[in-house]
Amino acid sequence: MAEKKVHTLLIVESPAKAKTIEKYLGPGFTVKASMGHLIDLPKSRLAVDVEHDFEPEYITVRGKAKILKELQVAANKAGNVLLASDNDREGEAISYHIQNAILKKNPQIQVKRIVFNEITPQAIREAVQKPGDISIPKVNAQKARRVLDRIVGYNLSPILWQKVKNGLSAGRVQSVALRLICEREAEVESFVPEEYWTLDVELSKGKTQFLASLVKYGEGKLELKSSQDVEDLEKKLHGVAFIVKEVKETEKSIRPRPPFTTSQLQQTAANRLGFTSKKTMQIAQQLYEGVNIGSNRIGLITYMRTDSTRISQTALQEVRAYLSKEYPDKVPEVPNYYSVSKDAQDAHEAIRPTMVEYTPDYVKPYLNKDQHRLYSIIWERFVASQMVPAQQKTISVDIQAGEALFRASYTITTEKGFQAVLHLLAAKETEKKLPSLKVGDVLTFVRFIREQHFTQGPARYTDATIVKALEEKGIGRPSTYAPIISVLLDRYYVVRKNRQLVPTALGRAINDLLVKSFPDVIDVNFTAEMETKLDRIEENGGEWVSMVREFYLPFRKKVDHVLETMESIKGVLDEETDYVCELCGRKMVKKLGRYGYFLACSGFPACTNTKSIPLADCPRPGCNGKIVARKKAKGRGKEFYGCTNYPACDFITYYKPLETKCPKCGWFLVEKSDKKLGTHKACINPDCDYLHSAEEGEES
């Protein structure tokens, strides 16, 4: 009788990953997707037994019972099961719960765990040949994190319901991120810009003209605080000779940067490509899980959640072989190695292309525009990291003019080194070349160029800078940076404005309450310490229950105290207005809602009339309408501001009206932002020159 062939079921998280891996394995394998977590805590209650070692009450996730049953049936038919969820805490927990569910139905089934850093034929086949067991320390670290987050969320949220507004929620790590954003906003608002001026001089030698900047005058500190100061200085310099005092040449070696970690990828994609952290991770997931390249389907990058700059010896050999062929004069004698942060878990390699031969040009026909741009910076950063440094030369010229010292300089790249492979990541050289100058040369004065400036205050956080801050402060981990930002945006505690993260009135009210009542829990250092403790549980198999208990007991006492003693601010943010309800004649009240302020009838619940708050008077002559915020009816269109008399009046603008009226024409001012001026105020009237040029006017 013929021996029965052994069949193996391999379970991954996503259908895209399943589709890719299925192509690599022979007929003895079936690949199915779990679609993420199948077993988790219920949403409707705490579900953590705080009296008995914080044991979580796990249930099948709503809507996932069918998937779980299909996997159990498939496992029973196969006999062998390989669990291949992501190689991190969440992935380990997913595998752990699936294993328990399968063995509960049939204890005879052999269930093993496999891990891999990239989805390529070789990596998958090697992983299948070396199955192991589930890491219980990693599962416990995930369980501790989940229990902590549930305890904090389910104890803080009811306080917000009772004291602020129904339907609000608070999270352990998100609340700390919100605190950082609110504190930065307070710094932005309290900053008072100061005026200062700079003075350049345009000089020439022969036919070549160039600029030099004033760096010193006399022996004292140079301060030009007004146009009068500049004018006085120009008078002192009238008719003086401009003589070359010193010419210096300095050479500098610039090392390539290491391949990307998750946070560095998110920061660079935000700065270079304008991607949000969420978008970056979604596209990176697609590149990791697999893309059709001709008739082949392959994962183009390694696992995208990592805090390490380490790369494998195989990848190192491949990239050096590629460089020896394509850039033979730019390969270092020995490989470049990069130190890994002391706080890094170093569980995965850096983010790199799985096959360096798949250049951005080669894969371009198979990727959409955003996929190609993200893949390009990953490929460029990785390949450049194993090349020789670039060499630069800076020529600096000091020019004496009476008691004033001016300086002109320019930098040129003398050896491209690793920069030869950079395109999207290339730095732009904008400095103009100087003429050949030597000490004693007398230069021809052309003109002075004066420019007014204002000191710049602290910048609001962007996706890039908040991720950098979270990483530097030890808050969150590679898998959580993007979700932290998304949660704050989804809850309307924070909004994006010109790519900046700005706390809403609701976000600031919640932050004030939490910081005042729970300063220890909503503390940067405390949160970072908790992350470190979770890492220790994962790495050393530490005991998680005592860690949670140490946190819970004083936290619960504080919650009880706040519930008893804190005054409710429900309705405190409400403000009576002079607007009258057109339905019942009562006064309208300004209220803070889920998506910002709105007007509601004071006769609620008898009258349920609500409407947008007028932000300004319509500036159109003869129109008595008000300007309110609007959104396009279809989809999640961009917010704009239009007249309440529409369609009789079709005035619209995409700039939010400010409370201040233009002192020249009486129209309203708006806040604009551009690369040259940064964030600034301008009049919306196209015929008014107050703080803007005429072409920046009304959009209708």
Considering 96, 288, 303, 358, which one is annotated as catalytic? 303
> What is the per-residue pLDDT for 82?
97
Half-sphere exposure of 367 (CA within 13 A, CB side): 25
CA dist., res. 20 & res. 289, Å (int)? 7
C-alpha 529 chain-centroid distance: 22
303 is catalytic: yes
pLDDT tens digits, residue range 298-311? 999 999 999 999 99
Tell which wins on pLDDT, 203 or 427.
203
Domains and CATH numbers, the chain: 7-134 (3.40.50.140), 143-191+459-565 (1.10.460.10), 195-255+390-454 (2.70.20.10), 267-384 (1.10.290.10), 574-613 (no CATH), 617-700 (no CATH)
Tokens encoding 370: 């955003």
Tokens encoding 447: 């003109």
* CB of 44 closer than 8 Å to CB of 64: no
CA dist., res. 547 & res. 536, Å (int)? 11
CA dist., res. 371 & res. 373, Å (int)? 6
Name the nearest CA neighbour of 509 among 594, 619, 620, 392: 594
Q: Return the H-helix or E-strand segment holding 39.
A: strand 39-40
C-alpha 196 chain-centroid distance: 33
**What is the pTM (predicted TM-score) of this model?**
0.83
Cα-based angle 336, 338, 340 (whole degrees, multiple of 5):
160
Q: Return the H-helix or E-strand segment holding 406.
A: strand 404-415
Tokens encoding 398: 């000091």
CA dist., res. 418 & res. 474, Å (int)? 31
pLDDT tens digits, residue range 13-64? 999 999 999 999 988 999 999 999 999 999 989 999 999 999 999 999 999 9
Tokens encoding 391: 């060499």
CA dist., res. 261 & res. 352, Å (int)? 9
CA dist., res. 155 & res. 487, Å (int)? 18
* Percent of the chain scoring above 90 in pLDDT: 67
**Is there a cis peptide before residue 605, judged by omega within 30 degrees of 0?**
yes
> What is the per-residue pLDDT for 635?
43
Q: Which amino acid appears at position 342 of this protein? A: K
Average pLDDT (167-180) is: 92
